[in-house]
Structure 1
Amino acid sequence: MIGKHIRHIKRYQEIVSVLVKYGFGYIVKDVGLFHLLSLPRQIVSDFSGNGNDQKSLGQRIRLMLEELGPTFIKLGQLLSLRTDILPEQIAEAMRGLQDRVTPINAQSVKQIMQQEFGTAVTDVFAQFDEQCIAAASIAQAHHAKLITGEEVAVKIRRPDIESVVENDIEILWDLASLVEKRYEWARTYQITDLVEEFSLAIRSELDYTMEARTTEKLYDFFKSDVNVIIPKVYRDYSTAKVLTLDYVHGYKYEELINRPPKDVSNKIICERLVRSFLDQALICGIFHGDPHPGNLFFFPDNKIGYIDFGQVGHLNESMKRDFGNLIIGLMKGNTELLFRTISTMTVMPDDLNERQLKGDLEGLREKYYRLPFKEVHIGKVISDVFAVTKKHHIGIPKNYTLLGKALITLEGLITSLDSDTNILELAEPYGQRLLIRRLDPSELSKKILMNGYDVVENSMRLPSLLRKTLTHLYKGKTRVEMKLPQLEVLLAKLDRAANRISFSIMLLSLSIILASIILGETFGSRSLITNVPIIGIAVTIVLFMFMIVLLSIFRSGRF
C-alpha cells in the first residue's frame, strides 16, 4: 500500500481533495488518508459529515465522479445499475453522468491509426473525416470510406487512456480495502468484489478485439432476420485500439417521437425491439447492455438497428433458467420457487433471516399474482425484487443487474412510442419455451447424466481428499483462519487514545519543566550563567518539541 502511495501520490492527493471538496472528508479521516491533504486543507475542512445536505447526496456524488475523470465516470455508470446496493435516488443521479471531454485532434488520431496499421491513413481509407461524429472519455468515432467503397464508422481509443485507467484501478483497490476495514456496510456489500467486477468490465471495454467478437456473434445470430440490423465488423481494419464497422444511419428515436415517418409504425417497431432484445438475452445469451436512444436506429419497413456493443451482458443456460423461474414464480404465485431461484442466482449473506425473506417474497407474490400481463410493468417488478434483495444484503451478479437495467430502459422507450405494448406480454412465449425445453426428455436426461457424472467424480476424489486432510491434521499443518472485522476499528481507537495520552503527558511535562525552571531561577543561587536567558531558551526548546509531537499526532488524523 505504501508503494502505491509513493507511485501515485499526486493522484491520491487529487482524489482525497475532491472527496473533501464534495463533503466526504469524514471518510478520508476514517480510512487514514488524512495526511495526504495539505496542512491548510486539514485545518479548514469539515470532517464531521454533519453539515452535508442529504437531499443533494446523489448530485454531489455525480459531480465528484465527473471531476475525477473517465475511470470514475465509468464506475458511476456501473453503480447506476446497482439498485440492489444504492438507493434509487442516488442510482438515478448516477445515470446522469456525462463524459465532458475535448475531442482528440486530427493529427493525434492519424498518428494512432498509423501506429496501429503501420501505414498512413490515406493508404487504408479512401476518405476519412477529420471531424469526429461522437466523442467520449475512452474513445471517439469518425466517419470514413474504405478503398473498396464501403461506408464505415471508425472508433479510436484515446491516447494514454489505458495507463490512466490502470493507475486509477490500483487506487480503487486500495480505497476499497480501506473502506471495507472501516465500515460494516462496505463488508456487507463486498466493495472489493465490486471493484474487481468493474476492473474486468472497463478493461474489456478498452480492448476492441472483445467488442469486435461480441458484435460478430450478434451479427451472425441476426443475419437471417432482415428486420434487425447489426453492423458488420471489418477485421482487416480493426485492432485493439481501432474498431471499424458498418456506418449505420437511419431514423433516430427522437424523430419517431416528434416527427413520426410515414413508412414506420411505432407499434411494430416496439414489438420488434422487445422481441429482438429477448432473442439476444434468452436465446443467444448475449445482449446489448445499454439500449438507450443513442444506440438505436430505425429504418423504413419497421427495421431496427443496434450499435455500440462495448457494454454487453451474458446469460448462460442456468442463468436463463433462473431468470425465467423468477418471472414464473411471480406470475404463478409460487413463493417457494421464488426463494429457491433467488438463492440460486444471488450471493446470500451468512446471517440471512430466511423466514423474513420468505415473508417479503410472499408480499411480492401477493402483489403480482393473478394480475393480467398488461397491468404489470417489468421495471416495477425488477425494482421491487431489487428492493427485497437490498433489504436482506443479498448480492446480485452483474449480468442480472445489467439485464434488469436494460429492460427498464427498454420499457421506458416503448412506453413513449406505444403505451399499449407490454414487455411481459411479449415475453410470455419465451417463458413457455424455456419451461417446455426444461421438461424435454433429452434435456432432462442430459441433466441426470451430468449430475450422475459429478456424483461419481466427487466420490472418486473423496478418499484422496480425506487422506490429505487426515495427514495435515496428524502433522499439525492444519491452518485455522479467523476473521476479525472490527479489529481495524479497535486498533484505530487505541491509536487515537494513545495519541491523546501522549498529548496529555506532553502538556504535563511542559508544565513541570516550566515550573522547575521558574522555581530554580527564583530561589536558586546565582551562578556564572545568571545573565543567560535560560527560561527563554528552555521554553523555546520545549515548545519546539511539543509542536513536533502535536503536528505528528494531528497529521495522523487520529486525535
Structure 2
Amino acid sequence: MKKEAYNLRRGIDDAQRLREIVSVLFEAGFERQLQDINLCRLVPLPRRLVCGLRAAQAGPAVSVEVRFRKACEQLGPTFVKFGQMLALRPDVVGEDAAAEFAKLQERAAPVPYADVLAALEEQLGGGVKTFFRSVSPRPIASASMAQVHRAVTHDGKHIVLKVQRPGIRAEVTRDLHLLALLARLLERALPAARNYQPVDIVRTFSEWTLRELDFTVEAGHVERFRADFAEEPRMHVPAVHWDYTRPGLLALDEVSGIRLGQLKRLRSTKVNRKETAAFVMEAFLHQFFVTGFFHGDPHPGNLLVAPGGGIVLYDFGIMGYLPSALRYELVSAFQAYLRRDMEAFVKHVLDMSTLAPEADVVGFSAEVRKHVDAVVYRPSSHKGLPHAYYKIIVSGGRHGVRFPTDLVLFAKALLTIETVLQKLDPKINLDASMAPLFDQLTMARLDPRSWLPETREEALEFVRKLPLIPERTSALLKRMEEGNFSVRLDLDELKVLMEEFDRENDLRILAIVAAAILVASALVLASPGVLPWGSVFGKMGLLAAAVMLLGVFLQARHKPA
C-alpha cells in the first residue's frame, strides 16, 4: 500500500513538473512545437492568453537559441546541464547555438551549512567530527548539483569536499525521464526533428549525467589521469582520499595556483609563459594521441600554474576517450593535412564517421577543403589545424556525416587548448609542433613489436573458440539432417544465380553437341573407302564443331554483368 501511495505521489509530481516544463517552453515562444506534439493543453488557459498578448506587443524578435538558453536557466539544474551538453555538440545544434548554450552557468545559491552537514553524515554514515577535525562552513564553490568546502582531517591534511546537493539525484532522475518523453514525442511527430536525433541525444545526456552524479566515477577518472602522468613531475593532479569518497561525496587534496586565464597575475610572477605553453601542449598531445584518455573541458579556469612550477589540472567530470584505432586514424588524417594531401585527409575524416542515409558526401568534402584553405592560405589569422578540424566536425551534421561523441569532444578540447596556448605564447605553432609526435607514433606503429599484444589477443581468442568448433559443426549437421537448415538469399541475388545456372547449362549442352559432331566427323574421315561426299560432310562437321567449341570458349570467358 505504501509503495502504491509512493508511486501515485511520484506520478503526480511528474505530471506537475511536466506542466511546469511545458509552460516555461510555451512562454519562451515554442508554442508551435508544443502544438505539434499535442502538449499545449497542459498550459493553463489564462497563461496562454497572457503569452498571446505579450507576443502581440513584443519588440524585436529574439533568436531561438537565446530563448532556449533562458528557458533552460529557468527550468533548473538538469536543463542547465542539458544546454551545456548541447554546447559540446556543435555538429548537432550548429555553431551559433553551441556558442549561446555555452553561456549557461551552473552557479547556484549555496546550500545552508546545516544541510551540508546532514548530507555529509548521510554519505559517511556517521558524525562529521568522527571523520574530520573541521569542515569550513563557507563554500569555495557552489554549483547546481554540488558545492565545495574545505576540510581538515584528523591527521592534519588539508582537503576539499565536493558535496552533492540534498535531493538532487531524485530531481535530476525525474527530469531525465521527462526529457526522454519529450524527445520521443518530438521524433514521432516532427520528421525534421529526426535529423537532430533527439532520442539518442537525450539518452547520451542521461548516461553522462547519471555518471556525473556518482562522484566515485569522477574519482576513478582522477586516479587514471594520475597514473597516466605518474612519471611527469610537472603535472600536478590532486590525490583522491578514498576513505571519505562516496557516490555523493568526493574528497581531494586541496590545490593552489594561478589560473591560466589570469594573465596579469602570471606576468607579475617569474613564471616562464613560453615554457608553460610548451608543457601544456606536450601534456595534452600526450592525452589525445598517446593514452587516448583526455580532459574534456580544459578551459583556463581548470588549469593552474603551480607555485613551484608545472601545471595543476582539476575538475574531471567531463572526460573523453579515443580508442587506439581512432587515434591511428586521427594521426593519419592530420599527417595528410600537414603534407596538404586533401584527398587522403578527406578519406581519413570520412573513415572516422558514420553516414546517414541522406548523407551528402560530395558537399561535405567540398566544405572540408574550404575550411582547410581558410587556415592554410591565411597564415596571419593564427588559426591552424585545430580550428579547421573543429569547423569540419561542426559541418558534418549539415551533410548527414556523423561523428562519435568523444571525437566531437576531442575537437572542442583541441580548439580550446590552441586558444589557451596562443594566450600564453602568441608565437607558438601547434601545427608544426604536432608533426614530430605524429612521425614518432607512426614509426612506433610500424614496429613489429607493437603488433605483439594484438596478435597475442587474436591468437588467444582463436584458441578460446577452437573447442567450440566440433560442437557447433555437429549441431549444424544435425539441423541439416533434420531438415531445419535454411539458407537466406536475396531475391535479386537468387535471380542472378538462376540466370547464371541456365547459361552454364546451355554452354554445357552446346559443348557436348560440338564434341559429338567432332567425334563423328573424325570417324567418317578415318573410315576406309569413304565416299567423296562423305569426306565433304566430315570436313564440314569438323569446321562446325570447331566454330561451336570456339563459341563455348568465348562464352565461358565472358561473365554477365
C-alpha distance in structure 2 between counterparts of 1:33 and 1:433, whole Å: 58
> Quick one: structure 1 residues 353 and 444, their matched pair in 2 at CA, closer, same or farther if it must change by over 3 Å?
farther
Is 1:334–1:365's contact at 8 Å kept on the other side of the alignment? no
Q: Which residue of 2 aligns with 1:318?
A: 325
The one of 92, 96, 111 equivalent to 2:99 is 92
**Aligned partner letter, 2:155:** T
Superposed CA deviations along residues 311-356 of structure 1, whole A, max 9, x for unmatched, are 1111111121222233223223334433443333222101223333
C-alpha distance in structure 2 between counterparts of 1:41 and 1:184, whole Å: 29
Q: Which residue of 1 aligns with 2:409?
A: 402
The one of 252, 257, 263 equivalent to 1:256 is 263
Q: Which residue of 2 aligns with 1:25?
A: 31
C-alpha distance in structure 1 between counterparts of 2:66 and 2:207, whole Å: 27
C-alpha distance in structure 2 between counterparts of 1:455 and 1:374, whole Å: 53
The one of 127, 136, 146 equivalent to 2:153 is 146
> Quick one: structure 1 residues 234 and 387, their matched pair in 2 at CA, closer, same or farther if it must change by over 3 Å?
closer
| Higher RCO structure, 1 or 2 (CA under 8 Å, sep 6+) | 1
Q: Which residue of 1 aligns with 2:180?
A: 173
**Aligned partner letter, 2:151:** A
Query: Normalising to structure 2: TM-score of the pair?
Result: 0.76
> Quick one: structure 1 residues 45 and 339, their matched pair in 2 at CA, closer, same or farther if it must change by over 3 Å?
same
Q: What is the number of equivalent residue pairs in this alignment?
A: 473
Does residue 14 of the first structure (1) align with residue 20 of the second (2)?
yes
Is 1:16–1:33's contact at 8 Å kept on the other side of the alignment? yes
Query: Normalising to structure 1: TM-score of the pair?
Result: 0.76
**Aligned partner letter, 1:26:** R
Does residue 289 of the first structure (1) align with residue 292 of the second (2)?
no
C-alpha distance in structure 2 between counterparts of 1:446 and 1:140, whole Å: 44
Is 2:215–2:246's contact at 8 Å kept on the other side of the alignment? yes
Q: Which residue of 2 aligns with 1:309?
A: 316
Q: Which residue of 2 aligns with 1:358?
A: 365
**Aligned partner letter, 2:243:** D
Residues 39-438 of structure 1 correspond to what in structure 2 (within 5 A)? Answer: 39-46=45-52, 56-258=63-265, 260-364=267-371, 366=373, 376-438=383-445
**Aligned partner letter, 1:256:** L
Report the more deviating stretch, 46-55 or 12-21.
Answer: 46-55
Q: Which runs of 5+ in 2 are unaligned?
A: 1-7, 489-561
Q: Which residue of 2 aligns with 1:485?
A: none
C-alpha distance in structure 2 between counterparts of 1:396 and 1:6, whole Å: 39
Superposed CA deviations along residues 267-316 of structure 1, whole A, max 9, x for unmatched, are 11111112112222222222111112221211245311011111111111
**Aligned partner letter, 2:180:** W
C-alpha distance in structure 1 between counterparts of 2:62 and 2:461, whole Å: 53
C-alpha distance in structure 1 between counterparts of 2:458 and 2:340, whole Å: 29
Q: Which residue of 1 aligns with 2:42?
A: 36
Q: Which residue of 1 aligns with 2:500?
A: none
C-alpha distance in structure 2 between counterparts of 1:464 and 1:329, whole Å: 50
C-alpha distance in structure 2 between counterparts of 1:425 and 1:54, whole Å: 45
Superposed CA deviations along residues 424-458 of structure 1, whole A, max 9, x for unmatched, are 33322332232223322234566678789999979
Is 2:372–2:388's contact at 8 Å kept on the other side of the alignment? no
Indicate the SS of the match to 2:365.
helix
Indicate the SS of the match to 1:234.
coil
C-alpha distance in structure 2 between counterparts of 1:462 and 1:86, whole Å: 51
Is 2:367–2:392's contact at 8 Å kept on the other side of the alignment? no
Indicate the SS of the match to 1:145.
strand
C-alpha displacement at 1:43, in angstroms? 4.2
Is 2:83–2:104's contact at 8 Å kept on the other side of the alignment? yes
C-alpha distance in structure 2 between counterparts of 1:455 and 1:362, whole Å: 43
Is 2:335–2:435's contact at 8 Å kept on the other side of the alignment? no
> Quick one: structure 1 residues 341 and 75, their matched pair in 2 at CA, closer, same or farther if it must change by over 3 Å?
same
C-alpha displacement at 1:253, in angstroms? 2.7
Q: Which residue of 1 aligns with 2:507?
A: none
> Quick one: structure 1 residues 462 and 361, their matched pair in 2 at CA, closer, same or farther if it must change by over 3 Å?
farther
Indicate the SS of the match to 1:302.
coil
C-alpha displacement at 1:165, in angstroms? 0.8
Q: Which runs of 5+ in 1 are unaligned?
A: 476-559
Report the more deviating stretch, 323-332 or 4-13.
Answer: 4-13
C-alpha distance in structure 2 between counterparts of 1:371 and 1:242, whole Å: 49
C-alpha distance in structure 1 between counterparts of 2:10 and 2:330, whole Å: 41
> Quick one: structure 1 residues 125 and 447, their matched pair in 2 at CA, closer, same or farther if it must change by over 3 Å?
closer
- Percent sequence identity is 29
Superposed CA deviations along residues 105-157 of structure 1, whole A, max 9, x for unmatched, are 11111111112222211221112111000000010001111111111111100
C-alpha distance in structure 2 between counterparts of 1:379 and 1:186, whole Å: 30
Superposed CA deviations along residues 381-429 of structure 1, whole A, max 9, x for unmatched, are 1332124312212222211111121122222222222211233333223
C-alpha distance in structure 1 between counterparts of 2:447 and 2:31, whole Å: 59
C-alpha displacement at 1:173, in angstroms? 0.7
> Quick one: structure 1 residues 306 and 446, their matched pair in 2 at CA, closer, same or farther if it must change by over 3 Å?
closer
C-alpha displacement at 1:53, in angstroms? 5.4
> Quick one: structure 1 residues 420 and 241, their matched pair in 2 at CA, closer, same or farther if it must change by over 3 Å?
same
Report the more deviating stretch, 228-237 or 50-59.
Answer: 50-59
C-alpha distance in structure 2 between counterparts of 1:259 and 1:268, whole Å: 13
The structure that has the greater radius of gyration is: 2
C-alpha distance in structure 1 between counterparts of 2:353 and 2:195, whole Å: 14
C-alpha distance in structure 2 between counterparts of 1:179 and 1:349, whole Å: 19
Is 1:84–1:389's contact at 8 Å kept on the other side of the alignment? yes
> Quick one: structure 1 residues 141 and 378, their matched pair in 2 at CA, closer, same or farther if it must change by over 3 Å?
farther
C-alpha displacement at 1:236, in angstroms? 0.6
C-alpha distance in structure 2 between counterparts of 1:194 and 1:462, whole Å: 43
C-alpha displacement at 1:218, in angstroms? 1.0
C-alpha displacement at 1:83, in angstroms? 1.2
Is 2:258–2:266's contact at 8 Å kept on the other side of the alignment? no
Q: Which residue of 2 aligns with 1:501?
A: none
> Quick one: structure 1 residues 43 and 376, their matched pair in 2 at CA, closer, same or farther if it must change by over 3 Å?
closer
**Aligned partner letter, 1:170:** H
C-alpha displacement at 1:205, in angstroms? 0.7
